[in-house]
Chain A
Amino acid sequence: MPAFAGLDVQLNLLGFKLAWTLTLSWRNFVELCESYVQESRKTGMSPEDNKSEAKTSDPSKSQSEEMAQHPAEESSPGEPSSVDSVKVADPRIDEGKFATVTRRELLKVAPIIALGAFAIPSLQESLLKKGLAFSDWASARLFRQLHLAPTFTNDKLTPFEKFPINDYDVDDPGVIFENWSLTVSGAIQKPGEYKLDQIKALPRVRQNTRHVCVEGWDVIGRFGGAKLSDFLTMIGADTSARFITVGCADDYYESLDMPTALHPQTLLCYEMYDQPLTREHGAPLRLSIPTKIGYKQAKYLTDLKVTNVLEKVGYWEDQGYSSFYGL
């Protein structure tokens, strides 16, 4: 390694050398590592130290002191003998100048105080909102249409009786199934009321996926239904629109970004564990979205709209929870 190259360049070169050796041959890589270890054992310094003046050299021990304590150690071959070098006295500075230096260095750290803005009540809410929005933006960027959520074999399923029920109002809002229909509107060609049989006529998907609650617990459930993307095709939806919004029988409401709505695992779900949904689990129709957090997977759907504008995002989002919350 060229002696004139600075430490940072040498480190880069060393890194590349190691990485290149590793890609070529594991054996060569091991030998290269061993040669470094051996050399550093011999001289007490790494080979890079031998070849250049170490900027972080130990200032309190001179080379001659070092040699005196370890007489058996050979100096690295080819290097000029360092026995004659004398300890150089430390550079001097007047105490007044030193005070100026330390004061200036302290000022350089002062920008940290900017973080204190989060402690100011009038700024806190908007700062946190911006932070959350940034996380949502990053999540949306990370989302991939074709990346599937993990699925599981039947033996991994959480037993049905251990599948929790969460609601915001009541477990059972008293839907009358004979009268039930999904009211569909917005940027679509075929608006109107859709009965459950029409949704059941679409190809049925059954999948075992992990349901993650924002509270922190998770279960693995078996969900069955029609792909939301198939339903959107059936109603002639404009899939260049940005959002799907849904309304529910218990006045819960949610929204979904179109990329997620079109994801192959996003279901208009009418079954759990191969049985029709029970009332508490959202009968007759709910969303099942393995790429989203639990609260996005609205139950007891009554309305669906394809739109570009969101007046409200969702029940929990409008309280301050994340809007995108993709998993």
Chain B
Amino acid sequence: MSGVILEITRTKGEETVAIGRAAYEHPLPVRLCHWANAISLFVMVGSGLQIFRAFPSFGAKIPQKDLIHWPKAFAIGGWLGGALQWHLTFMWIYMATGLIYLGYEIFSGNYRQILFTHRDIPGIWPMIRHYFFFGPKPEQREAYNPLQKHAYTTVIGLGVLSVLTGLAIWKPVQLSWLAALMGGFHLARLWHFLIMWAMLAFVLGHLVMVLLHGWNNFISMLTGWKKDPEY
């Protein structure tokens, strides 16, 4: 159903005029998964950082050389035990929303508007030039421009990797084949950490873009409808 565009009309007495258009961009499953996953990701990162505080290093235990001292105030859980409770509880919500989202996108065909393909490659540079170097605004023909598609496709991949690396750390014996693919438990822990930062980079860019693109765009992730779409 996404892709449907309506013309909004107002009737004053005898006259009916068009006052704007609205596009249905985000079906309900997408919206539910978006917010559930956003909340889950917030908890996973917060509790993950608290877990990290227990051994903030990727080297040896003896001698221990800490990478960074992450402040407790910016973590969730209060202590290692608490953080693990949050992390091992919300990971199920995080994984479920991810799977539901992926399944919905594939089986509804909705993925087409967001999946980055080879056809989007030529459009990347004009978009970067426009966003970062004051280049001209490329004509928008679809719901998502090539750079957006790249970001949203990549972050899904990162999400999948965050789960896989997490599972490898949680079950390095029962899922020893998975841990082995990543170079073993010790390295899997590092990949898990790095992927988190890559996802945070996405979140930062995403939030900036949401802020810059105004109320109508933001509200479309709640109601599904975007008033006055650019296309």
A contact residues vs B (CB 8 Å cutoff): 7-8, 11-12, 37, 40, 54-61, 89-95, 98, 101-103, 105-106, 108-109, 111-112, 115, 118, 127-132, 134-135, 139, 142-144, 147, 149-150, 158, 161-164, 210, 212-219, 290-291, 316, 319-322, 326-327
Q: Is B22 an interface residue (CB 8 A)?
A: yes
A-B contact count (CB 8 A): 182
Cβ-defined contact, B9 with A109, below 8 A: no
When the two chains form their complex, are residues A109 and B28 in contact, meaning their CB atoms are under 8 A apart? yes
16 residue pairs A–B, Cβ–Cβ below 8 Å: A8-B107, A59-B3, A93-B9, A101-B225, A106-B223, A108-B28, A108-B31, A130-B89, A150-B176, A158-B60, A214-B84, A217-B55, A217-B60, A217-B61, A320-B85, A321-B84
The answer to whether B60 and A58 have CB atoms under 8 Å apart is no
**Contact indicator B185/A92 (Cβ below 8 Å):** no
Q: Is B92 an interface residue (CB 8 A)?
A: yes
Residues of A within 8 A of B89 (CB): 127-128, 130-132, 134-135
Stretch at the interface among B109-117, B120-128, B155-163, B197-205: B109-117
Contact of B90 with A131 in the complex, beta carbons under 8 Å: yes
Q: Out of A54, A90, A101, A322, name the residue touching B7 (CB < 8 Å).
A: A90
Decide yes or no: A290 and B223 within 8 Å by CB, A7-B109, A132-B89 being known contacts.
no
B52-80 interface with A by 8 A CB criterion: 52, 54-55, 57, 60-62, 64, 80
Interface string of B1-24 (1 = CB under 8 A from A): 111111111110000001101110
Q: Are A89 and B85 in contact (CB under 8 A)?
A: no
Chain A residues whose C-beta falls within 8 Å of the C-beta of B22 in the assembled complex: 98
Partner of A106, one of B18, B23, B141, B222: B222
Contact of B18 with A149 in the complex, beta carbons under 8 Å: no
Question: Which residues of A are found within 8 Å of B61, using beta-carbon distances?
Answer: 162, 164, 213, 217, 219
B104 → chain A closest CB, angstroms: 10
Cβ-closest 3 pairs across A and B: A131-B89, A216-B55, A7-B109
Partner pick for B93 among A115, A147, A214, CB 8 A cutoff: A115
Most A CB contacts (10 A, CB to CB) among B5, B92, B141, B172 go to B172
Main secondary structure of the interface of A (DSSP, over half): mixed
Q: Closest approach, in angstroms, between the C-beta of B141 and any C-beta of chain A?
A: 6
| Known contacts A58-B142, A144-B174; A105 and B7 CB within 8 A of each other | no
Which residues of chain A are near B7, meaning CB under 8 Å?
A: 89-93
Contacts of B119 in A (CB 8 A): 40
Which residues on B sit within 8 Å (CB–CB) of A98?
A: 6, 8, 22, 225
Cα A143 to Cα B57 with chains together (Å): 29
How far is it, in angstroms, between the C-alpha of A130 and the C-alpha of B93 when the chains are bound?
13
Q: Apart from A109-B31, A142-B174, what are 18 other A-B pairs with CB-CB below 8 Å? A: A8-B107, A56-B113, A58-B142, A59-B3, A60-B231, A93-B8, A112-B35, A115-B36, A128-B86, A139-B171, A144-B174, A147-B173, A149-B176, A216-B51, A216-B189, A291-B173, A320-B81, A327-B172
With an 8 A cutoff between CB atoms, is B224 at the interface? yes
Chain B 80-104 residues near chain A, CB threshold 8 A: 80-82, 84-86, 88-93
Measured in the bound complex, the distance between the Cα atoms of B81 and A130 in whole Å is: 14
Looking at the assembled complex, report how far the CB atom of B219 sits from the nearest CB atom of chain A, in whole angstroms.
8
